[in-house]
Amino acid sequence: MASRLRLIALNNSAGFFTDVLATGPTRQVELFEDEAGGATQGLQVKSLLDNFATVNTFTFGSEPLTIPNILRYPAGGRLLGMNAQGVAGNFNFRAADKLVSARSNGAAGTSLRVTEYD
């Protein structure tokens, strides 16, 4: 199972949500608030599981938020998202799929560690 790791800067709780887009074929997403900067503030997250309708608040920092594909059996399951394909502006361009939208739960911004699994 291949994985792709990214570190994404997030706005504070009064700012806009930051969209996290797929960078390849993704079957599972794991999210952590990055603890390298000191104390954690928590996260506010919208996910594709309910079409980004609900803001879920998580105040812990050391536990991963995992969006699994429950249909993984057999053969890895269906895809949650794909990366952008084609050239922007062309008739066959396909934008990357949004996996989550997130922002900090505190007055200061934070960083989100995102791992995508094939």
- Residue 49 φ/ψ, nearest 5 degrees: -65, -30
CA torsion, points 96, 115, 46, 86, in degrees to nearest 10? 0
Q: What is the mean pLDDT of residues 31-54?
A: 85
Query: Is residue 56 scored above 60 in pLDDT?
Result: yes
Share of the chain above pLDDT 90, in %: 35
Q: What is the predicted pLDDT for the residue at 2?
A: 79
Sheet with 110-117, edge to edge strand ranges = 3-10, 110-117, 28-33, 65-67
Distances, alpha carbon 53 to alpha carbons 76, 109, 116, in Å: 27, 22, 22
What are the tens digits of pLDDT across the range 72-118?
555 666 788 899 898 888 888 989 999 999 999 988 888 999 999 88
Residue 75 CA to residue 94 CA, distance in Å, equals 25
Percent of the chain with pLDDT over 70: 88
The residue among 38, 73, 45 whose CA lies nearest residue 59 is 45
| pLDDT over 90 at 5, yes or no | yes
| Cα Rg of the chain, angstroms | 15
Domain 3-117: assigned CATH number: 2.60.120
Helix (H, G, I), strand (E, B) or coil at 14: coil
CB 80 within 8 A of CB 48: yes
Instruction: For residue 108, give both structure tokens.
Output: 């200061």
Query: What average pLDDT does the segment 31-44 reach?
Result: 83
Mark out the alpha helices in 32-92 (DSSP H runs).
none
Domain residue spans of the chain: 3-117
